[in-house]
Structure 1
């Protein structure tokens, strides 16, 4: 018989393997032994939306999510109720009107600054390349293009790096950390919060009308709440697009046919001035499907949790108040019951089903879905159009490493500026 902590070591060592284990037996709720309180993994896709759309008095964010408060405080990620709704509405309002028209030129300009330097870099690790790039993009969305100095961006990148590993450790930890480890975490957090405060205070008065920061300021948030909201959005935006971006470069580098298909699509989406036209992106089905398939195989948020606030029955099983429910996009999106050849990268799949949820589902799905999808599609289009990429690491690539998100393995790529006559000569 398993003891209450028997799955803790496996969860900390490789959560993706644990979450993928024994899911084909038809059991809708699989018991995980991660502590004294009961934890179940939801393996029936028909249960996912009802759970995520349940009334907050029955199912809500619980202790596994509240651990994030040590870093992102009382942000919209960790709070519920009317205040959560109010903050999400303010962010949606900023993103709703004219997102593509405003966002596309800002992001493509950032990408142009980066890909043009790639040949000089030689062989690079794709994630070490796309991670900082994703942070620069999310900073532009948060504050507006040109608001932050290079020093401000560097400070914010340092803040994120300081707290993210400590945050990953806190999520999976059952027993308290040793005193010296707790002291180091508190020191890192104090430094990061102080630096964040300084940058946000400088940026808020200069934020552009289209920035998320300008929308949040209308809510009358305290300086602390504003900083926590910004840090949460930075962490979420950085990881989703930084890790997925690395995999996009991997597939473009290893498959010249795919890269050429995306390149032709990018050329057709360009306006008379040679830049991507936001109005033509809806025709770019290949690049969009590349993004969707990468997010199916490598969902950045590979599990998320809810907690019962009262005794309740789910799938015919009575569950006690305090029970945690884990939903794993990694498991759902790689389950052979729902996907043919689930570990193969294949375009043209149906992404509208119940088991495709890289951003969650329901009214509390990731608030940055639109931004992340557009940012990743632009990355695929810009790099395919302008670069000939080459892979220098093993193919197929090893699986990612579970941490706060799924960290890609070393994906080594190099690139040269694409010239059409080079392609003709190669043919």
Structure 2
């Protein structure tokens, strides 16, 4: 028998399976979910996503599910709306738009190569444990300038994120707080915010003039608002891209033939010194398709929400004030009505579909789209062109853990220099390969 909480147990047990099962089976444009007394709908028809995301804030806006994130990121552009949101977003977008982000290609490549040189000597490693700090360093380079954060500060930020991520995810749909967990969560949150604030304040003081934080300072934000905005960008930029990047290692290791083809593509987008040329990256279709397919199967934001601010109609459904709308890229990206063989990784499939929404759509889409795509594509090209990857597990598919983002399971990987880059003396013969492996060794 249905009651206001009849779906809650299934959701809490396995939210990914819940979204996918309910979404794939539904014949409605929006599927009513019973997760509490207030109405909640899962958006099933992908053509509704853009109208929902483009709706006027007076009709559909960020609601209580998003506002729970204020526990950590305060009144940042992730949680606010209206003119102030637009003002901050414009400043962030101006610094992180695709054209501007491409100016970081050389720095991102150099960072990756230094890390690969270390991993080559180290042996096997966990993909996510490597990818998350890499993504953090990239976003901090954009935020503060190159080299502002050292290893100690980076480690502090990562520990702070780990301290609160599971607690925050647990609380997103918990309607009745758990008394046993309440004080532990408050302690963890307080400790994590204090750790992050110390690092952020230190980095702000040392930021370079061309950095994003300097652009935000020009808006005249209060110290607290600036700190919240920077924390949001660090958390969103490092955690989402870092989780997606772990799957790059996995799929390159599991398809050597595809990796070989990407390596051949990489040879056509570098200059004489072996450096990737930003102007040629948009035409590197295979590595771009690989990147898009990673984000289709493993969208870091596996759900996001909006709320009806007043009674309104979407898709033929009248939504009363307070109704929440859940959009799940995990479901939309795996629904066989929109994708042939949706569980199969296919770097050459078309992603031109309204059901492809890893970053959202419209004016409220993720402001870091350009930078995230650039980071992942550069990672794909740098790895495939220089290394052969092997993963220790023989599983055909791995399931991520739903937290604030999708956390990959342990993926143990080993790098080896590509055989076709070696000469008889077992040294790398290609100048570009030598540069990639030896630049910082």
What is the TM-score when the length of structure 2 is the normalising length? 0.92
Counterpart secondary structure, 1:187: helix
Tell whether 2:396 aligns with 1:401. no
Q: What corresponds to 1:291 in structure 2?
A: 291
2: distance between equivalents of 1:417 and 1:117? 13
1: distance between equivalents of 2:184 and 2:42? 33
State the Cα distance separating 1:82 from its structure 2 match. Answer: 0.5
Counterpart secondary structure, 1:274: coil
Tell whether 2:360 aligns with 1:366. no
Q: What RMSD, in angstroms, separates the aligned Cα atoms of the two structures?
A: 1.9
Q: What corresponds to 1:176 in structure 2?
A: 177
Deviation per residue, 1:161-181 (Å, 9 max, x gap): 222222111212111122x42
2: distance between equivalents of 1:97 and 1:310? 35
For the Cα contact (< 8 Å) 2:133–2:154, is it kept in 1? no
Q: 1:424 to 1:63 in 2, by over 3 A?
A: farther
For the Cα contact (< 8 Å) 2:95–2:101, is it kept in 1? no
Deviation per residue, 1:336-364 (Å, 9 max, x gap): 11111111111222212211000001110
1: distance between equivalents of 2:343 and 2:187? 41
Q: 1:288 to 1:160 in 2, by over 3 A?
A: same
Gaps of 5+ in 2: 426-441
For the Cα contact (< 8 Å) 1:397–1:409, is it kept in 2? no
For the Cα contact (< 8 Å) 1:93–1:215, is it kept in 2? no
1: distance between equivalents of 2:97 and 2:242? 23
For the Cα contact (< 8 Å) 1:100–1:278, is it kept in 2? no
For the Cα contact (< 8 Å) 1:139–1:153, is it kept in 2? no
Tell whether 2:233 aligns with 1:233. yes
What is the TM-score when the length of structure 1 is the normalising length? 0.95
Tell whether 2:95 aligns with 1:94. yes
2: distance between equivalents of 1:279 and 1:366? 23
Q: What corresponds to 1:164 in structure 2?
A: 165
Q: What corresponds to 2:204 in structure 1?
A: 204
Counterpart secondary structure, 1:342: coil
For the Cα contact (< 8 Å) 1:399–1:409, is it kept in 2? yes
Range 334-343 or range 197-206, more displaced: 197-206
For the Cα contact (< 8 Å) 2:401–2:409, is it kept in 1? yes
2: distance between equivalents of 1:303 and 1:203? 31
Equivalenced residues, count: 425
Any residues of structure 2 matched to 1:107-126 within 5 Å, and which? 107-126=108-127
For the Cα contact (< 8 Å) 2:33–2:39, is it kept in 1? yes
Tell whether 2:383 aligns with 1:383. yes
Any residues of structure 2 matched to 1:324-343 within 5 Å, and which? 324-343=324-343
Counterpart secondary structure, 2:267: helix
State the Cα distance separating 1:424 from its structure 2 match. Answer: 10
Q: What corresponds to 1:265 in structure 2?
A: 265
Gaps of 5+ in 1: none
Q: What corresponds to 2:435 in structure 1?
A: none
